[in-house]
Chain A
Amino acid sequence: KAGVTQTPRYLIKTRGQQVTLSCSPISGHRSVSWYQQTPGQGLQFLFEYFSETQRNKGNFPGRFSGRQFSNSRSEMNVSTLELGDSALYLCASSYAGTGGVLREELFFGEGSRLTVL
């Protein structure tokens, strides 16, 4: 079956601009999580969506937001970009996410690499 698809793969923005990233989960997966990966901090959790509702949120400023559509596809938006937002943004899907009884496997996309100049 098709894996997690993220678009765009690469993008360059300037400070102050905003960006929208898209994630299509594996068919049947209803949980979508977003992570920011940087060399210094590693993978840091941004938020999780399940059935169009944000179920968990990480410790990021309000400039970072997301949403999930009825087909489970998800988008995340970063407004007023800062240099420190340069990172690889990873999307991961699973059946139940944090609502499951057992820890599930997360299936990651290849990521969207954002560079802020």
Chain B
Amino acid sequence: TQLLEQSPQFLSIQEGENLTVYCNSSSVFSSLQWYRQEPGEGPVLLVTVVTGGEVKKLKRLTFQFGDARKDSSLHITAAQPGDTGLYLCAGGPGNTPLVFGKGTRLSVIA
């Protein structure tokens, strides 16, 4: 079973600060997804990355897939309270169930 480790587990920052969260594995992933889960809700897909070295931007969020496809990062610029939530990375071959990391719980304080 492929495992995904996320760091940090918890992050509390002030509004306007920048932050980066990480997702690492010892295995190569054919693709990797990032989801965000807000309190009382189910996870919602933010992005899918499939090519080593790929960078995708979603407004103030920048996602990067490592060259070796074993790691990924999510960078948030000028964090806002609306960014608060649990950020989950997930991956695995398309023909197997999605494996999730345990997530990074982000709190952005106004």
Instruction: Give A contacts to B, CB under 8 Å.
Output: 4, 33, 35, 41-45, 48, 56, 58, 90, 92, 98-106, 108-111
Contacts and interface: CB of A to CB of B under 8 A. Distances in A.
B7 interface: no
A110 B95 contact: no
Q: Give the contact-size bracket for chain B.
A: 20 to 34
Interface in B42-56: 42-45, 48, 50
B40 A110 contact: yes
Contacts of A105: 33, 45, 48
Interface of B: 30-31, 33, 40-45, 48, 50, 88, 90-92, 94-103
B89 to A, nearest CB: 11
A101 B94 contact: yes
A90 B48 CA distance: 20
A15 B88 CA distance: 31
Contacts of A103: 30-31, 33, 48, 50, 91-92, 94, 98
Nearest to A102: B94
Given A98-B95, A103-B30, A43 B100 contact: yes
A109 B42 contact: yes
Contacts of A41: 102
A58 B42 contact: no
B35 to A, nearest CB: 8
Contacts of A109: 42
7 contacts: A33-B98, A43-B100, A103-B30, A103-B92, A103-B94, A104-B94, A110-B42
Contact of A92 (B42, B50, B102): B42
A90 B95 CA distance: 20
Given A103-B30, A103-B48, 7 more contacts: A43-B43, A43-B88, A43-B100, A103-B33, A105-B48, A108-B43, A111-B42
